[in-house]
Structure 1
Amino acid sequence: MGRQRKRVVTGEAAPPPRKDEKPSALHRKEKKKKVDIGKIFINISIGLCIFSLIWFFYALYMRSSLAKRVVTLHPSSHVLDANSSSAKVSPERFWGSYRPQVYFGMKTRSMMWMRQFSDLDVNLRHTCEQGDRLQGYGWLMHDGITFGVQEIRDNDFTLTTEFVKKMGGDHGGDWTWRITAKQHSSAPQAPVISLMFYAAADTQGSLEAHVEERNRLASITGFSEELGNFKITFRKPVTGELSSAKYASSLSFQLQLSSDCSPGLEKLTDIVKHSLNRRFVYSSPSGEKRHYIAVDTYKPPHHQNQQNPADIRKESDFVVHQVTVQTPFQIEVLFESGSFHNRPNQLVGSIMTQELEKRKSEFDTKFEKTFGLESKGYSHSHIKFAKAALSNMLGGVGYFYGQSVVQSVYNEYPLLYPEGALFTAVPSRSFFPRGFLWDEGFHQLLLSKWDPQVTREAIAHWMDLMNMEGWIPREQILGDEARSKVPAEFVVQRNENANPPTLFLGLQELIQQFSSNPDKTASQATLPFLRRLFPRLKTWFEWYNTTQTGPLPNSYRWRGRDKDTNLFLNPKTLTSGLDDYPRASHPSADERHVDLHCWMALSSGIMASIAKLLGESHQDYELSHKVLSDNNLLNELHWSEQLRSFSDFGNHTQAVSLQQEKVYVPPGQPRHQFPVARLVRSVRRAPKQQFVNALGYISLFPFLLHILTPDSPKLEHILRDMRDSNKLWTPYGLRSLSKSDPMYMKRNTEHDAPYWRGPIWININYLAVRALHHYGNAEGPYKEKAAALYEELRTNIINNYNDSTGRGQGSHPFTGWSALTVLMMAEQY
């Protein structure tokens, strides 16, 4: 019997289907829809998980990749060939006084000295130290290649160090040192001096000492892959004709250490100190016997682990030879290359004297031909000063090798940069004996006039240290010896931090030399040099344009300002080169820095010139230069109507001061158990977005780098501020910050004396003199005023440094960009 179906009355609930009854089509669709949505949800979830995993691993990969970029060198061919510094390729430059941080040294072979019977315990002189308090030291003559004459004035005697090189063979030829000691007329008696000569093999090689009777070291022979076979001969001292002093003693020792604790060059002073002993007796000319200090057996510090005799190498890494003698005397040390086979005579005695006089004469001739100071009517003393200034820069050129310590935001810990070499001048032999990117451009302005090849090599070395991002570590602390002179907090270089691209100044000079006389021998190497350099220059310029941009279009901002606003009166901007110059009081991403804007305007113009010279695309660089040099844009971004000067912009207040920190000590508690009160910054009025309104070097940059047009009315304000003695003018040069500024000569912390807050700096004064020369020769309403100011400032500048007395300040000697005085004397800009 067939089953009857009940009619479903509209509005009534349908009865549930029986178990054996199939679901209706509508119900099946709804169920299928639910299943489909579930599957879609599951699929989406799986997809999201897979995507998240892919993104996670991609992010890890990208972070790892980005972390490696900071220590990955630029992929283009090196500007310098791998063997460009070798003896075969460049024999005349292979040897040199390339250790500016020591008083006298040829690459890795150097000299120490100490005064015997002194009131001081051990007054050992080796590395250039301000604490040695010498009366003075510096090169009187140095041609950068073949010879040099230096004078070192100690308290009661003077050491004159001279060296001459002679080409021959395959390893840079021979060289001879001559050290002459003379007592000062004010010295109560003839001083007894110990000279300590040492040879150190800081690369793989061997040294062997040859000792004569009475423990006198006659010579050292050795071998290294770089030098081949060589011999160093220590000639006996020669005393003056009127002197009754006799040769006192000669002692030496060899240091043999296991390979895992071989000393670095930075430890050599301590090694010698730990080898000294008072058991030696000196017989004076009068017959009196006195104990003196001399090298004995090296005794490692007690904490140094004792080494296994089986680990000691047969040949030493370090040989020291001490000669103790009464002044006056003269000693010669001769280095002879084993590959110099047809040597006509030894470079000693009268032969050395003849060669030295020949080189001096050639130096004088080249100096006059290059700078023309004699023809300009300068006195003998002025010319002597200028020669010493140039020679100190040439004698301060160093050759360094090692690794920087760097970090990016993608690295948790600092990394070692790839090993590299750097041929560079240094700012100060005592305090800054290493390469600084911002200083080097100024150095090369002078050196390019003397020897363009030195400039090409120095710039090439710097650019070969560029990483793939286009970043160059701004301070080159290469190797342990360099690192030993740097406070720990300044060792790590960060890849977001720039430095003024002053190498463009040296490049600008090379271009001008080539353009004015392309057939001149000194200029012919410039074009191929620029062609090899150009890929790195493009990346370098682009790096500045992407990492140092400001908040507004075509504005720029230095990264790397100090972030601890509590301790600094004004947080420093070390990256700008003008460390403590007043910027915005509260660092922020809204800042605009006028000096960096001007550096980029200059750089883009020089990039356009180089691109044109090489036949490369130059339109983008020309456009950048045109935009950044637009005086209307410059006024809009940086002209302060209140100050009537160019200025930085940022989150700023002038109502700040350093105040003694309040430390609460509960009643009855001892004060010494609580922190020492510090000077901390007090902000009396909240900062706001405004111009910084500090008148000084920063205000002058549109003028200094020739960004202003000769008819700009802003030029009138700048010339007036420069000449105002209540603002920037002094009889010795332009002060770095206006005398009327609230931060003039104010300390930045309780320990930081003012640096760019009043003292005179020769590099900026050189730019000012050069700019006055430029505007004094350009048609415009301010031509005559600029020309008159040029003559006055140029005359005053030689008496530079302290803005009240003209006395030199800071690190001594600061013989880097201070030598730019020579170019002002020669009127070569």
Structure 2
Amino acid sequence: MKWSLAVRVVTLHPSPPVLAPNSSSASLSPSMFWGSYRPQVYFGMKTRSPGSVVTGLMWLSQSSSPPSLRHTCEQGDGLAQYGWLMHDGENFGVQEIRDQGFTLTTEFAKRPGGDHGGDWSWRIKATPQESSPPGQLISLLFYVATDGQGTLTPHVEGKGHLTHVTGMSEELGTFTVHFPKAEAGGGHISYNYLNATCPGLHTLTDVVRNSLRDHFTHPTSGGSHNKRRYFGLDRYQAPGPPASHSQLLVHQITLYLPFQAEVLFESGTNYDRPDHLSGHSLSMALEGHRERMADRFTRVFRLGEKGFTPEQIAFAQAALSNMLGGMGYFYGSSMVQSPHNPEPVFYPAAPLYTAVPSRSFFPRGFLWDEGFHLLLIARWKPTLAWQSLAHWLDLMNADGWIPREQILGPEARSKVPDEFVIQKSENANPPTLFLALRQLLGSREAIGEGLQFLQRSWPRLKTWYDWYNATQAGPLPHTYRWRGRDKDTQQFLNPKTLTSGLDDYPRASHPSEDERHVDLRCWMALASEVMADMAEILGEDGQLYRDAHKILTDNSLLDRHHWSERLGAYADYGNHTQSTALEWVRPRAAPGQDPRTVPPPQLIRMVKKPPRLQYVSSLGYISLFPFLLQVLNPDAAHLGRLLDHIRDSDKLWTPFGIRSLSKSSPFYLQRNTEHDAPYWRGPIWINMNYLAARALYMYSQKEGPHRDRLVGLYRELRQNLVSNLYRQYKETGFLWEQYNDHTGRGQGCYPFTGWSALGVLVMAEEY
């Protein structure tokens, strides 16, 4: 029995997978086989297959000392701006990267043909910025690398000019990567190349950086006799025994600004190629893709009809493009821990096609984020949403659990602190995939496309729904409680609830089994409704879900379990006291102890008044969940009071959106530990504001005593959100993780074109 329980956590769901094992292959999905599925790098491409051959771009400015090698997206690089201006999620993309003194424009386009996913071409334009000094010497480094399988053969002219690479792999067959001569406005081009092996793709940056030497020279504008030293690729010497996992070939060109370079990938089975996708042919292909995307964007979102300027429409198009361009394909095993395993174990290796919240800080899959991501992706192209949903559901184990954070493969793991790598099997995450499903079910076109998906996913969705009811049930019937709260009540001002997605939002001060969490109850009301609708479409018996939805949307029962008259809002319930504070405690030396061995002072939570079972009096996003997820009836007795709180600038309202926690809360903008800044304790989050705008819009369409007020609040909130998102993007070049509730300025990590891109749907009023 112990062995059976221990292996069950890593036993996948017994039903047939939603996606066939080869569904992402070149034979079944040729147009999607290649893509920019490496969101963690500034520019790179790979295939949707395990062990893919990968390609990418690195660069460095020879004018800075020491030169900084750019490759993976890092906030510490200090780039003024980077991101996709256009990306249709399938065929092409145009990205602008503003570095210090120069701008790189990266473009790619794909061409179908043959049996292995067709061809693609890159174009990189490098131009000086107006304020930058002349004579900037830049190096571009294009690389091709294997990930455990496949062979690469370099073809070199002269001392270091890598003209092309021929290769072969199981998924690609034979192929060639060409490096045509760059169009150099500054004259001479210097060439270097590297042929090395390395332990894996996560070490590519280090291998290249450690191969650079500054003993190379490049002619200056004064003539060939005047030389300038530059950092170029030299032989790589591995620290230890030779690595053999990945083969790496790098082509370096060094030249003065401005210039333009291309890279061509050509499949060996594309026999009907009319010409090389280069020069004029590439320009025409890119122009055609731009026109088609602009036309489709106009039809889908109709922003011009809603009065937005061309500049604002370009911003919205960039936000959508960054969401689509941020979709990655990952393969690997999660590290998971169940109560029945003494040590963490590896989950079965699997693929995941998903959007990511942030290319720099969170370049991996998050379960609750993806439900929000897919709201926008599904509006653009339902096929992409169905595929992502299927990949996520195919990660489900036999119990119905899906690891909430997907850290698949060494590249992904290299970006994650150790304490967040292990996923615990008793921990849930908001089932936001039901948000995306509800939207898809509302479109006849999307249902027709996804009917087979619905049929194959039904057994998994039933198990997932049952898993929430079995593992996250609360102390009373029809109540729910998040598992996985922090148990160290001394360390935190208020123990976090990472599993809820609203990490440090104040819950009951002393975690216990008596808690009732209103947000999880509302998520389950949504899940019940969607399951009932799916059952009806599929001809299944959905009465169980209809009954659950009726109970979970019973406003009188909701009030009985979660209405706090003292707070005047809905609230969690648990063992709680407001009288807590963080205080410095200096340990005293024991008699005879050397004072130098006494531990340093610690910031410890002090409880000034003992806790008791009561409602948690923290007004904020949690209080609004029955409204945000539209559990309340339009004529609900408490709807008016919630609208009062929303519009009160001393509580939740700001000129930039609805803040996460009321200014009246003792936890407002309070640190949770010495090093743990406030996160969901005041700042404005776009996913919750999207839900608020959607709820105001939906309720304003229904008869009720507050209809006129709802219309006004909706218009005002929409204006505030859109104006601030656009203003911050124009000022900083990025969408942000969250926004300051006093100034509206973006803060947290950037670029954050995960759920912050939902501003596009608010602009379009697509709910």
With normalisation by structure 2, the TM-score equals 0.96
Equivalent position of 1:13 in the other structure: none
1: CA distance, partners of 2:228 / 2:585 = 56
CA distance in 2, matches of 1:466, 1:118: 49
Give the whole-Å Cα distance in 2 for the aligned partners of 1:735 and 1:670: 49
Distance 1:203 1:110 in 2: 17
Give 1:164's aligned residue.
109
**1:672 and 1:318 mapped to 2: Cα distance?**
51
The equivalent residue for 2:204 is 268
Instruction: Give CA-to-partner distance per residue, 1:68-105, whole Å, 9 cap, x none.
Output: 11000000000001110000100000000000000000
1:347 matched to which residue of 2? 277
Instruction: State the partner residue of 2:734.
Output: none
Once the two structures are superposed, the pairs formed by residues 503-514 of structure 1 within 5 Å of their partners are 503-514=433-444
The one of 635, 638, 643 equivalent to 1:714 is 638
Q: Give the alignment partner of residue 85 of structure 1, picking from 17, 24, 49.
A: 24
What does 1:355-754 correspond to in 2, within 5 Å? 355-514=285-444, 520=445, 522-665=446-589, 671-754=595-678
The amino acid of 1:434's aligned partner reads R
Indicate the SS of the match to 1:383: helix
CA change 1:629–1:572 in 2 (3 A) is: same
* SS at 2:151 equivalent: strand
Distance 1:142 1:73 in 2: 34
Q: What stretches of structure 1 of length at least 5 have no aligned partner?
A: 1-61, 257-261, 515-519
Separation of aligned partners in 2, 1:192 and 1:650: 63
* Aligned counterparts of 1:730 and 1:160: Cα–Cα separation in 2: 37
Q: Give the aligned partner of residue 55 of structure 1.
A: none
Q: Is 1:184 aligned with 2:129? A: yes
Output one character per residue of 1:348-399: Cα deviation in whole Å (capped at 9) or x when no partner: 0011001100000000000011001112221011100000000000000000
Q: Look up the SS of the partner of 2:663 in the other structure.
A: coil
Answer yes or no: is the 8 Å Cα contact 1:660–1:677 preserved in 2: yes
Q: In structure 1, how many angstroms separate the alpha carbons of the residues matched to 2:453 and 2:326?
A: 24
C-alpha distance in 2, partners of 1:671/1:209?
64
2:232 corresponds to 1:286: no
Per-residue Cα deviation, 1:575-629 (whole angstroms, up to 9, x for no partner): 0000000000111111100000000011001100000110101111000000111
Tell me, in whole angstroms, the C-alpha distance in 2 between the residues paired with 1:646 and 1:203: 54
Task: Assess if the C-alpha contact under 8 Å between 1:437 and 1:499 holds in 2.
Answer: yes
- Whether 2:753 is the aligned partner of 1:815: answer yes
Identity among equivalent positions (%) equals 59
Quick check: 2:63–2:138 contact (8 Å CA) kept in 1? no
- CA-CA distance at 1:747 after TM superposition: 0.6
SS in 1 for 2:36: coil
Q: Is the 8 A contact 1:584 1:650 kept in 2?
A: yes
**Take 2:85 and 2:493, find their aligned partners in 1: how far apart are those partners?**
42
The 5-angstrom pairing of residues 248-263 of structure 1 reads: 248-256=189-197, 262-263=198-199
Tell me if 1:218 matches 2:163: yes
The 2-side partners of 1:661 and 1:823 are apart by: 49
Which letter does structure 1 place at the counterpart of 2:64?
S
Deviation, structure 1 residue 207? 0.3
Give secondary structure in 1 for the equivalent of 2:526: helix
Q: CA deviation at 1:706?
A: 0.3
Residues in 2 aligned to 1:188 and 1:541: alpha-carbon distance in whole angstroms: 61
CA deviations 1:43-65 (Å, max 9, x no partner) are xxxxxxxxxxxxxxxxxxx1110
CA contact (8 A) 1:70 1:468 kept: yes
| Preserved CA contact (<8 Å) 1:116 1:193 | yes
Q: Distance in 2 between the 1:217 and 1:672 partners? A: 61
Deviation at 1:666, TM superposition (A): 6.1
Summarize deviations over 1:202-259 as a string: whole Å, max 9, x none. Answer: 141100010012310000010001001000001111024xxxx223311001114xxx
**Alignment pair present for 1:768 and 2:692:** yes
Is 1:300 the counterpart of 2:230? The answer is no
8 Å CA contact 2:178–2:264 kept in 1: the answer is: yes
How far, CA to CA, are the matches of 1:426 and 1:451 in structure 2?
A: 17
Q: 1:282 to 1:673 in 2, by over 3 A?
A: farther
C-alpha displacement of 1:570: 0.6
Secondary structure of residue in 2 paired with 1:796 = helix
How many Å separate the matches in 2 of 1:553 and 1:286? 83
Partners of 1:273 and 1:377 in 2: how far apart? 49
Corresponding residue number in structure 2 for 1:319: 249
The residue type paired with residue 64 of structure 1 is W
Deviations 1:145-187 (A, max 9, x none): 0000000111111100000000001111100010000111111
Equivalent position of 1:66 in the other structure: 5
The AA in structure 1 aligned to 2:537 is: L
Deviation at 1:448, TM superposition (A): 0.5
Residue 159 of structure 1 aligns to which amino acid in structure 2? Answer: L
Kindly report structure 1 stretches of 4+ aligned residues shifted beyond 4 Å.
Answer: 666-672
Cα deviation, residue 749, structure 1: 0.7
**Residues 188 and 219 of structure 2 are in contact (CA less than 8 Å); yes or no, is this contact kept in structure 1?**
no
CA distance in 1 between partners of 2:592 and 2:533 (Å): 74
Deviation at 1:189, TM superposition (A): 2.4
SS of equivalent residue, structure 2 residue 35: coil
Deviates more, 1:659-668 or 1:496-505: 659-668
Q: C-alpha displacement at 1:300, in angstroms?
A: 1.7
1:263 offset after TM fit, Å? Answer: 1.6
**More displaced, 184-193 or 505-514?**
184-193
SS in 2 for 1:525: helix
Letter in 2 for 1:569: L
Q: Distance in 1 between matches of 2:222 and 2:703?
A: 76
Distance 1:85 1:203, change over 3 A: farther
* Aligned-partner Cα distance in 1 for 2:543–2:155: 66
SS in 2 for 1:197: strand
Q: Does 1:227 align with 2:172?
A: yes
| Distance in 2 separating the partners of 1:457 and 1:306 | 39
- Counterpart residue identity of residue 249, structure 1: S
CA pair 210-629 structure 1, distance change in 2 beyond 3 A: same
Look up the SS of the partner of 1:85 in the other structure.
coil
SS in 2 for 1:247: coil
Mapped contact 1:452–1:523 kept (Cα < 8 A): no
Q: Whole-Å Cα distance in 2 between the matches of residues 365 and 672 of structure 1?
A: 71
Are 1:246 and 2:192 an aligned pair? no
1:209 equivalenced with 2:158 (yes/no): no
> TM-score, with normalisation over the residues of structure 1?
0.88
Q: CA deviation at 1:668?
A: 9.3
Q: Aligned pair in 2 of structure 1 residues 306, 825: CA closer, same or farther (>3 Å)?
A: closer
Distance 1:577 1:183 in 2: 43
Looking at structure 2, the residues matched to 593 and 265 of structure 1 have their Cα atoms a distance apart, in angstroms, of 42
Alignment of 1:62-141 (within 5 A): 62-107=1-46, 108-119=54-65, 121-141=66-86
Q: Per-residue deviation at 1:276?
A: 1.1
**Cα distance, 1:299 vs. partner?**
1.6
Q: Which residue of 1 aligns with 2:735?
A: none
- Cα offset for 1:671? 5.0
- Residue 394 of structure 2 aligns with an amino acid whose one-letter code is D
How far apart, CA to CA, are the structure 2 residues paired with 1:512 and 1:634?
Answer: 27
- The answer to whether the 8 A contact 1:137-1:150 is kept is yes
1:611–1:618 contact (8 Å) kept in structure 2: yes
Larger Rg: 1
Q: Does the 8 A contact of 2:475 with 2:516 survive in 1?
A: yes
CA RMSD of aligned residues (A): 1.3
Alignment partners' CA distance in 2, 1:247 and 1:628: 71
Alpha-carbon contact 1:183-1:190 (below 8 Å) kept: no
* Aligned mates of 1:180, 1:665 — CA distance in 2: 65
CA distance in 2, matches of 1:306, 1:226: 26
1:465-498 Cα deviation digits (max 9, x unpaired): 0000000000000011101111101101011000
